[in-house]
Amino acid sequence: MIGPVIGAYIGYTGVLSWRWAEWIMLITDGLVLAILTAFMEETLSPRLLIYRAHYFRELTGDDRFKSAAEVKGEGSVAILKRNFMRPFILSLEPIVLLFTLYLCVIYIVLFTFLDGYVSRSLTRIPKLMYPRYTFIFSEVYGINIGLTNIIFLGLFLGIVSALVLVPIVYAQTKRQLARDGDDGTGNKLDRESRLLFAMYGAPFLSIGLFWMGWTNYPSISIWSPILASAVIGFGTISVFLSAYMYIIDAYETYAASALTFVALVRYIAAGGMTVAGIPMYENLGTHWTLTVLGCISLLVLPIPYAFYKWGTMVRNRSPYAVSTAHS
């Protein structure tokens, strides 16, 4: 959400070409990649065991020190085939499938906002003939594209406000661990407690979409849709946090594969919406476009509540997820 604010006046003022928005992202990504490559340590347990076995072989001169992966003796092709196939195998898991659907909706909303926030010159059809052809801020309130992009701070503040949930979820998780006699290792963690963020925040996504959709009129203060965007940001990050934490804790060793499928599908879906977004706003108008998105978000709203109730049963039946017996 900070990106549009930083890039708000690149190209708009004429001081820099619009291409500098891309160059700045490329330079920043390059710096981050260099830092990660230089300082980020390996965390995958099978790889750490390979390092440890190699260390002991060098230390003792005894070649019998081998990790489980080395004992299997799989070649690179077999390893790559297994790891590239696993995300698609996990796509059949109910937890992965349904949270992929939910995050697709989240990203469709966000990417549609990228279309809806910015100004659009509707020269093909006179506005007086078709007054429904309005966009969220620029067309309705007559503000320039630079100021419109700065309004993304509303979404940002909503995302940051989700911090208020941290002490609440922490206190509930702490009570659960104490109740179940955890020894401090977290082995007794209730995986479904990771869904608390979504259970608290998910309804706000739908509320914010309907709020913005039906207060987006020139006769109503611009602060109404801005506040609605903050509510949407709060609901968005709440679902995102729960989805990632729950998948990671539910699948542990296979979490990276599960998240790979989630990321792949949600970006494909959201990328398609960048093409469909403008026609939606032009043909449906702001009010009905946001209403449609709000209705879609209502359809997926029960997902975190359903897994909070039945998630343990779903995990126990899965060959990949962490079952209660192994928690």
Given a contact cutoff of 8 angstroms between Cβ atoms, the answer to whether 168 and 200 are in contact is yes
Q: Counting every residue, how long is the chain? A: 327
Lowest-confidence segment of 8-12, 43-47, 57-61, 140-144 by average pLDDT = 8-12
Say what the pLDDT of residue 170 is: 93
Buried b (16+ CB within 10 A) or exposed e, 168-202: ebeeebeeebeeeeeeeeeeebbbbbbbbbbbbbb
For the chain, give the mean pLDDT.
85
Lowest-confidence segment of 201-215, 219-233, 262-276, 302-316 by average pLDDT = 262-276
pLDDT band at 37 (very low <50, low <70, confident <90, very high): very high
Buried b (16+ CB within 10 A) or exposed e, 66-94: bbeeeeeeeeeeeeeeeeeebbebbbebb
Say what the pLDDT of residue 125 is: 39
Q: Averaged over 176-199, what is the pLDDT? A: 88
Say what the pLDDT of residue 324 is: 66
Per-residue pLDDT for 25 more than 70? Answer: yes
> 80-326 sits in which CATH class?
mainly alpha
Angle at 222 between CA 286 and CA 283, to 5 degrees: 10
CA atoms within 13 A on the CB side of 262: 27
Quote the percentage of the chain above a pLDDT of 90. 44
How many whole angstroms separate alpha carbon 222 and alpha carbon 295? 23
Q: How far is CA 263 from CA 33, 222, 224, 279, in A?
A: 19, 34, 32, 25
How many whole angstroms separate alpha carbon 148 and alpha carbon 144? 6
Domain parsing of the chain, residue ranges: 80-326
How many whole angstroms separate alpha carbon 93 and alpha carbon 315? 9
Say what the pLDDT of residue 325 is: 53
Say what the pLDDT of residue 314 is: 93
Q: The tokens of 192 are what? A: 């479904």
160-187 pLDDT, tens digit each: 999 999 999 999 999 998 898 888 877 7
Query: Residue 42 burial by CB count (10 A; 0-12/13-18/19+): exposed, middle or buried?
Result: exposed
